[in-house]
Chains A and B, each alone.
Chain A
Amino acid sequence: MKILVAEDDNLIRSALEFRLKKDNHDVTIAVDGSDALKKIEQDIPDIVITDIMMPFVSGLELVGLIKEKYQDRIKIIVLTTMGQEDVVLEAFGLGADDFIPKPFSPNELSVRIKRFSLK
């Protein structure tokens, strides 16, 4: 699957890239929300994994913008911090398809992605 990871922390970004590539996915990384939007324009992914807290264009804004333009063509998984229930609800309201609270197991992420590929 083509997956775009939008995360501002370079360690987390590289860890997700490392893991997803290990699962044989085609991974593109974006350092923030606006970078993600540019990369989506160039090559539309199947799934976007985005952090909520990012500079320039936040994760929530990104969810809204992607769903407005691509609707269900792109699935979105939101990474949140534990206890951000309001943010999760807002993300779902904007069209997010799934969320994973940090800390999370990389295996769990793989399973969630697999679920989308089966749909």
Chain B
Amino acid sequence: MYLLNLLFFLSLYFSAILLVTMVFFSYANKRKKNRYLSWDKETNHLINEYLFAEKNRVIELSENVKELSKTKPFRDFIAKKIIIAVKTFSGETTRNLKKLYLLLKLNEDTLYNSKHVFWYLKARAIRNAGIMKLDNFHDIIFENTNHKNDLIRIESQIALIRLIGFDGLKFLNIITYPISEWYQIVLLKELKVLDPDHFKGIKFWLKSYNKSVIIFALKLIGSFHLFDFYTDTQKLLQHKNKKVRLQAIQSISKIFKETTATELFAIFDKEPIENKTAILKEISKFKDPNTIEPLLKLLHSENPSLKTKIAKTIITVDKNGIALLEKQSGANAHPLNTIISQLKEETNS
């Protein structure tokens, strides 16, 4: 009986504790939510005032904002909001937001975090410095463009471009870590929103010992159609690294001239299958009737998959490609006859 009573009181006791804890947490959550809602209203209003302020109009911070801005959670909160606004709006509005960022001394938090031991805080601070175009962060950003941590490194590389435009590519002179395929795309995307400027370092980057730098420089040549670098690109068709050669094939085709197809056919035989495929893809884009004859010669390749790709290139370049294929020796024998009938079906459908 005593044991049962004890168990009953114990369960009652723990239930009470549980209930009090639940009420406490629910109250704390509600308070937090209300606090964030009030911050949200306050910051949205303040940011809107700054976003759409007329020139030279001075906007005073309210006493409430001044008081709140002494606390770290609020500073983080408003910094995040300003960053979102700067990423969304452009022109005079962003200059106003930068004024607000500096007025709240959020740049001091950015500086503190940019030296933080936690990589994610450091990376975020560097990104914010780039978005807010905080010029005095140049050296910190530049020295982190070759950081051992992937995210810090790429955020610094992007931030440097945001800060000083095409000059920011100077990090390519010093980086020893590779730039991944994905981040090369990200960097190109960042550059494409800027007005094309000078490409001072390209010749130097094309000779880099960092293969990814050579590949990226080749991508710049292709993306920005830098015809002046044709000969440099052509030389890289002979590079010992097949990925560099692959990019050279793709880039030279974007700045092609009359002789490009011949140059690509000259390297075709010794290239691995992925580079051969890339050559065929580029040749098909040229739509040059002079490429038909060399393509027909390549048709005698032993590899059936490659044979199909060559045949497809022929019918892309010449609308009478099927007829041309049918005239070839071996057109009635396997595998060319199968390839031709398959291509016929594809073109009919």
Contacts and interface: CB of A to CB of B under 8 A. Distances in A.
Interface of A: 9-12, 14-15, 18-19, 22, 82-83, 102-107
A12 B81 CA distance: 9
B44 A11 contact: yes
A103 B90 contact: yes
Contacts of A107: 91
Contact of A105 (B40, B48, B81, B91): B91
A13 B94 CA distance: 17
Contacts of A10: 40, 44
Given A10-B44, A82-B193, A83-B192, A104 B52 contact: no
Contacts of B91: 105-107
A83 B189 contact: yes
A107 B91 CA distance: 9
Given A11-B47, A15-B85, A82-B193, A105 B90 contact: yes
B69 interface: no
B234 interface: no
B16 interface: no
Interface string B81-122: 100111111111110000000000000000000000000000
Contacts of A83: 189, 192-193
B298 to A, nearest CB: 33
B193 A15 contact: no
A12 B91 CA distance: 16
A82 B43 CA distance: 26
Contacts of B86: 103
Determine chain B's interface SS by DSSP, over half rule.
Answer: helix
Contacts of B43: 11
Interface of B: 40, 43-44, 47-48, 51-52, 81, 84-94, 189, 192-193
Nearest to B185: A83
Contacts of B89: 15, 103-106
Contacts, number: 57
Nearest to B188: A83
Given A19-B51, A82-B192, 6 more contacts: A9-B88, A12-B84, A14-B44, A18-B51, A102-B88, A105-B93
Contacts of B94: 103
Nearest to B91: A105
Contacts of A12: 84-85, 88
A14 B50 CA distance: 13
Contact of B189 (A15, A18, A82): A82
B161 to A, nearest CB: 14
In the A-B complex, the 9 residue pairs with the smallest Cβ-Cβ separation, listed nearest first, are A105-B91, A103-B90, A18-B48, A14-B44, A83-B189, A102-B88, A105-B90, A11-B81, A12-B88
Given A22-B52, A106-B51, A106-B52, A11 B93 contact: no
A106 B93 contact: yes
Nearest to A19: B52
Contacts of B189: 82-83
B44 to A, nearest CB: 5
A19 B43 CA distance: 16
Contacts of A15: 44, 47-48, 51-52, 85, 88-89
B88 A103 contact: yes
